[in-house]
């Protein structure tokens, strides 16, 4: 099969790495890709939001399956255009992608179908939202309605911080994404990411993952796109999994059917495990980043077969997963998630044989430097690399991940040294 993967980050590198292992694969193309994928795929210089050129290329190269990594092309209708051209797509159509592209749509959908979530109010102007925020007496969560690259959510400790968040949205920091706003109650508990494979009829849950959103250790500092992940998560017990199945997944599937949302792709459910049971924080219409970096090494089944089966509307088996644990440590540029420098050379020392087979460096914000410097690998983003490792247990996975991270360096690079600290604390 000829497969076209859309995207250029760490998530896409992990997906490309797994797709490349499939015996069903003839040729893997990635648009636009990054240097980490050079040895496993043909990189195509297409922008992820240039829907027409992507579809034209897929037709020209007789692509058998398109796998979409980021959210923007889904919102812009890439899956819709591909279907019109007869090309299967692992990724939902624009109508279904609204579960991510509009917080108001998602919250209203959950309300219609009895899916537990935080109480909320939706506002179609920041002025209306400000009037409501003036009445707040405690903490709240302020969310830009549209896509804001994972940065349009502010946890406000009080009325002052909520108003400051609204001022930022009104100033245009999030572009058009902040023109409409959701203000909701702040849920308490532990967050867990539950990604699922959807074939339009069923949702097949993946392993539960926990992300670390704050830039600093001990969950301090500003929110980021994610500084590291681990899987599985012991607090996500079989009883909680059953509660999620009963109160969230079943009504979610029923709602999708009732509203004629033929959802095919990855449906990400962001959960808060509250004292009152699991509740949905948000939906994403695609794989998470850096959740994907730990899920792909744990997936025993063939990702290409799963993705193609979902795109065609029938996944006939439950995907299988490895025993053990996986950890991802994100190495970021100094200053991230604020302003940061790029163009800094990346070096990695020789990897010992025992470490090479159980650890991987997934590229996120990397590029090739100028020819006069022999096209050396350089930084090109805030989150630069996802250092990922597998272990028979969480301790071994952490040991390998940090051992691999110690071999990689670039000026100003930093990473959190406490990934999975909650998991370790739970063990006692």
CATH of the domain at 288: 3.30.470.20
Q: Are residues 215 and 294 in the same domain?
A: yes
CA distances from 161 to 31, 103, 232 (A): 40, 20, 34
Per-residue pLDDT of the chain (428 residues; tens, 9 = 90+): 999 999 999 999 999 999 999 999 999 999 999 999 999 999 999 999 999 999 999 999 999 999 999 999 999 999 999 999 999 999 999 999 999 999 999 999 999 999 999 999 999 988 889 899 999 989 999 998 888 666 678 888 999 999 998 988 887 776 665 679 999 999 999 999 999 999 999 999 999 999 999 999 999 998 899 999 999 999 999 999 999 999 999 999 999 999 999 999 999 999 999 999 999 999 999 999 999 999 999 999 999 999 999 999 999 999 999 999 999 999 999 999 999 999 999 999 999 998 999 999 999 999 999 987 788 999 999 999 999 999 999 999 999 999 999 999 999 999 999 999 999 999 87
Cis-peptide, bond into residue 232, ω within 30° of zero: yes
Q: Which of 93, 117, 148 is the last residue of a domain?
A: 93
Domain-embedded: residue 35: yes
β-pairing, 89-90 vs 65-68, is: parallel
Contacts of 128 (CB under 8 A, 6+ apart): none
Task: For residue 234, give the nearest of 137, 169, 125, 325 by alpha carbon.
Answer: 325
Q: What does the alpha-carbon distance between residue 326 and residue 397 come to, in Å, rounded to a whole number?
A: 6
Residue 83 resides in a domain? yes
Instruction: Say yes or no: 208 and 281 in one domain.
Output: yes
Predicted local distance difference test score (pLDDT) of residue 151: 65
Q: Hey, what's the torsion of the CAs at 45, 48, 54, 58, to 10 degrees? A: 80
Q: What are phi and psi of 236, to 5 degrees?
A: -85, 80
**Which of the listed residues 138, 159, 179 is the one where a domain comes to its end?**
179
- Write out the two tokens for 382: 């805030």
pLDDT computed for residue 427 by the predictor: 82
Give the number of other Cβ atoms within 10 Å of residue 171's Cβ.
Answer: 10
Domain of residue 217, residue span: 188-312
For residue 23, give both structure tokens.
């015996």
Strands of 264-274's sheet in order across: 203-205, 190-199, 264-274, 277-284
Nearby residues of 406 by Cβ (< 8 Å), 6 or more positions away: none
Asked if 303 and 215 sit in the same domain, the reply is yes
Q: By C-alpha distance, which of 91, 41, 22 is closest to 300?
A: 22
Q: State residue 371's pLDDT score.
A: 82
The pLDDT score that the predictor gives to residue 223 is 85
Angle at 68 between CA 65 and CA 73, to 5 degrees: 120
Domain annotation covers residue 131: yes
Strands (E), 200-324: 203-205, 210-211, 214-216, 220-223, 228-231, 264-274, 277-284
């Amino acid at each position: 099969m000829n497969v076209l993967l859309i995207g250029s980050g760490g998530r896409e590198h992990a997906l490309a790495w797994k797709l490349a292992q499939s015996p069903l694969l003839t040729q893997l193309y990635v648009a636009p890709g990054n240097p980490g994928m050079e040895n496993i795929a043909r990189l195509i210089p297409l922008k992820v939001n240039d829907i027409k050129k992507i579809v034209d290329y897929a037709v020209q190269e007789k692509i058998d399956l398109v796998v979409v990594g980021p959210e923007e092309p889904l919102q812009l209708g890439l899956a819709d255009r591909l279907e019109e051209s007869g090309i299967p797509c692992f990724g939902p159509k624009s109508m279904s992608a609204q579960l991510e592209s509009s917080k108001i749509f998602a919250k209203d959908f959950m309300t219609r179908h009895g899916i537990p979530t935080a109480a909320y109010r939706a506002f179609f102007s920041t002025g209306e939202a400000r009037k409501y925020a003036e009445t707040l007496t405690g903490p709240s969560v302020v969310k830009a309605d549209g896509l804001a690259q994972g940065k349009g959510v502010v946890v406000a400790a009080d009325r002052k911080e909520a108003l400051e968040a609204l001022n930022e949205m009104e100033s245009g920091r999030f572009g058009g994404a902040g023109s409409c706003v959701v203000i909701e109650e702040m849920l308490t508990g532990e967050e867990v990411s539950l990604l699922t494979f959807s074939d339009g009829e069923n949702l097949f849950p993946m392993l539960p993952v926990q992300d670390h959103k704050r830039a600093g250790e001990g969950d301090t500092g500003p929110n980021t796109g994610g500084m590291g992940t681990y899987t599985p998560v012991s607090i996500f017990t079989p009883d909680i999994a059953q509660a999620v199945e009963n109160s969230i997944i079943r009504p979610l599937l029923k709602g999708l059917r009732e509203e004629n949302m033929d959802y095919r792709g990855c449906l990400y459910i962001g959960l808060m495990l509250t004292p009152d049971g699991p509740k949905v924080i948000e939906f994403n219409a695609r794989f998470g980043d850096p959740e994907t970096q730990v899920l792909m090494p744990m997936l025993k089944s063939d990702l290409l077969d799963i993705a193609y089966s979902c795109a065609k509307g029938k996944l006939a088996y439950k995907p299988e997963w490895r025993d053990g644990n996986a950890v991802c440590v994100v190495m970021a540029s100094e200053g991230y998630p604020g302003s940061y420098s790029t163009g800094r050379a990346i070096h990695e020392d020789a990897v010992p044989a025992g470490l090479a087979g159980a650890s991987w460096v997934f590229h996120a914000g990397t590029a090739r430097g100028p020819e006069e410097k022999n096209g050396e690998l350089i930084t090109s983003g805030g989150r630069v690399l996802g250092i990922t490792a597998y272990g028979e247990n969480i301790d071994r996975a952490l040991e390998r991940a940090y051992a691999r991270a110690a071999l990689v360096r670039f000026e100003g690079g930093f990473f959190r040294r406490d990934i999975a600290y909650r998991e370790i604390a739970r063990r006692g």
